[in-house]
Amino acid sequence: MAGDMIERRIPDFSIAQIAESGQCFRITKVDEIFAGGTAAAPNFDGTSAAAVVNFDETSAAAAVPLDLQERVRANKSSQLWKVCALDKVLFIQENADNIIQENADNLIKGNANNIIQKDANNTHIFYCTDEEYKNIWTDYFDLNKDYSAIKKRILSLNDAYLTRAVQHGWGLRILRQSAWEATVSFIISQRNNIPRIRMLIERLCWSGIGGECICGGGCGGGCGCERFPSAEMLAARPLTDFTALGLGYRASYVRDAATSVASGRICLDEARRMCTADAIEYLMQLNGVGSKVAHCIALFGLHKIDAFPRDVWINRIIDREYGGYFDVTYDIAGIIQQYMFFYERNK
């Protein structure tokens, strides 16, 4: 493990901000698991759900390699994050104290342009091979896109609210996620907050419904590193398995989506090839998928960055800051939406 380490200084990238941005629900801060805290075990509210899930803190700690535990213990200013995506587990160490302070100083001074350059000093350690970094994670985190240029475009609009939002969310990027995982995740997200969405998705993965453990740590399962279940796996399960997990009315939507994708009635690869408007209309053929969820799937699962999901947070901004109208015709409307959403929730 010690040899599989890639250190990079990446501008416009913060795994901590991305984890809190509401676009992906399997990025978790894990250093507290072995730093004296308690693991984030799900708080089940039904005995049937609890019975099908086997999560324990010992297994969760076992998923973090020992040499990595020692590295993070030795560097108190860093944060360790675990990413479960694309049937892989990645640990990222983010040493962001200095750059967070520099960005805070820029915010206080109102120096909008410096925010684009200062975060070039933000150091990340990716615990993976060079090949994995180049072939998997560079694309997943959209690291080849010039977000500095995107920020400059937004700042050139001279919009006071968007300027503050860009400054606040300096490290956001739109991930290139699995379209299927994004579909299930945003169906589950309906009328839910982010902590509960995470909990429900982990229940789905940790339960007998989910796939095998992919952490490679010999933990025996239950560590929170299970493979996200395929459409075929979910389609084969009865509806009662989903309701037992606490999904509520969303249980039938998740199972129906699995049946539709597994049978080929809905092809997410085909949706990816469509223009954004057609893809959104196509996704709305799924039971329980309305405009907002379809826009979320298009933006976060199909990487259509002109999609613009509108939820209560975004509607609140548009009503308060823009008198009820906001131009969403930009080709980067989805990236603008992420800056707005993250700022409004975290300011």
With beta carbons less than 8 A apart as the criterion, state whether 306 and 337 touch.
no
Q: Which long-range contacts (CB under 8 A, 24 or more apart) does 95-99 make?
A: 95/122, 95/123, 95/124, 95/125, 96/14, 96/16, 96/122, 96/123
Query: Position 137: which residue type?
Result: W
Structure letter (DSSP) for residue 226? B
292 is catalytic: yes
Distance CA 303, CA 296 (A): 10
CA 318 to chain centre: 24
Length of the chain, in residues: 347
Backbone φ and ψ for 59, nearest 5 degrees, come out as -65, -40
SS (H, E, C) 106-170: HHHHCCCCHHHHHHHHCEEEEECCHHHHHHHHHHHCCCCCCHHHHHHHHHCCCCHHHHHHHHHCC
Query: Exactly one of 82, 118, 292, 304 is catalytic; which is it?
Result: 292
> Rounded to 5 degrees, what angle do the CA atoms 29, 30, 31 make?
110
* Catalytic residue IDs: 292
